[in-house]
């Protein structure tokens, strides 16, 4: 595995999927990991409605529970929003910030993403800060510039290896079954690593996840790329068997 000194993280983003019956997948995943622990940290980020139950199911296990978003304010008149202290109060460990679907569907820009990351840090949560380019941007040769600009605008000045994780997700690969060439992923992760190392004292230790159609069949290859310290998994995380198979990339 690349960067052996960095403990990898494989996080599952359930997005807007999952009724209470889906909690059985978390129960099964707990059993699978207890029988065969991976050499990586594991997190599941279910919809808000399932977080409390998921935390109870995973108590005392190797599975951390995360959330998919938070508001930038600690509290207030923000109907329908969830504050980071509310998540921390439940026992949430991680929160996904600035996912491309939030950036696209809700118009979230870098400044708002940074404000949410700051709120997560203040509440004691680890922020999984997402960056990534569109296909048009990549075809125009602007992918590296776009991602570095997003990092500059989205990652707080006080970010560190304990409170921040970067997730690189090429927008055009999310949910499409398409993945970039491993050379392209290596180039992007190297650029992100260089940026983090130059900006932050412990930037060389900050985890950089890859996301975008991560499946059991390609996880081993993707996770072996230099400076890929784990994965942010979408659809495959909804099935405990598939998610456990992705974790095989960190089993020996």
Q: Select which of 71, 94, 99, 189 is catalytic.
A: 99
Q: Is 109 part of any known ligand binding site?
A: no
Q: Is 211 part of any known ligand binding site?
A: no
Return d(Cα 167, Cα 108) in angstroms, integer. Answer: 16
Chain position carrying tokens 């800060």? 129
Q: Select which of 101, 108, 133, 169 is catalytic.
A: 169
Return d(Cα 165, Cα 127) in angstroms, integer. Answer: 6
Q: Is 124 part of any known ligand binding site?
A: no
Q: Closest by alpha carbon to 14, among 22, 3, 5?
A: 22
**Annotated catalytic, 169?**
yes
Q: Is 100 part of any known ligand binding site?
A: no
Report in angstroms the alpha-carbon separations of 202 from 158, 186, 199, 222, 248: 11, 20, 9, 24, 28
Q: What tokens appear for 51 in the block?
A: 């977080």
Cα-to-chain-centroid distance, residue 158: 19
**Annotated catalytic, 99?**
yes
Q: Is 13 part of any known ligand binding site?
A: yes
Q: Is 15 part of any known ligand binding site?
A: yes
Q: Is 217 part of any known ligand binding site?
A: no
Q: Please report, in range form, the residues annotated as the binding site.
A: 13-15, 175, 213, 234-235
Q: Please report, in range form, the residues annotated as the binding site for substrate.
A: 13-15, 175, 213, 234-235
Q: Which residues are catalytic?
A: 99, 169
């Amino acid at each position: 595995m690349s960067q052996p000194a960095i403990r990898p993280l494989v996080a599952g983003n359930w997005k807007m999927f999952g009724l209470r019956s889906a909690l059985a997948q978390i129960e099964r995943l707990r059993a699978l990991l207890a029988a065969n622990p991976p050499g990586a940290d594991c997190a599941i980020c279910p919809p808000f409605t399932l977080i409390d139950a998921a935390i109870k199911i995973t108590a005392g296990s190797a599975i951390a529970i995360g959330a998919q978003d938070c508001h930038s304010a600690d509290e207030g008149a923000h109907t329908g929003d969830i504050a980071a202290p509310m998540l921390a109060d439940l026992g949430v460990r991680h929160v996904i910030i600035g996912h491309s679907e939030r950036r696209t569907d809700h118009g979230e820009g870098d400044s708002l993403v940074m404000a949410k990351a700051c709120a997560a840090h203040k509440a004691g949560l680890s922020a999984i800060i997402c960056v990534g380019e569109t296909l048009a941007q990549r075809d125009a040769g602007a992918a590296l510039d776009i991602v570095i600009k997003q990092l500059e605008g989205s990652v707080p000045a006080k970010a560190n290896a304990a409170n921040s994780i970067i997730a690189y997700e090429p927008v055009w690969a999310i949910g499409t079954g398409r993945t970039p060439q491993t050379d392209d992923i290596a180039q992007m992760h190297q650029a992100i690593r260089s940026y983090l190392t130059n900006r932050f004292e412990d930037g060389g230790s900050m985890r950089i996840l890859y996301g975008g159609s991560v499946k059991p069949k390609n996880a081993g290859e993707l996770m072996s790329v230099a400076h890929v310290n784990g994965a942010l998994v979408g659809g495959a995380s909804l099935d405990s068997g598939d998610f456990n198979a992705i974790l095989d990339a960190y089993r020996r």
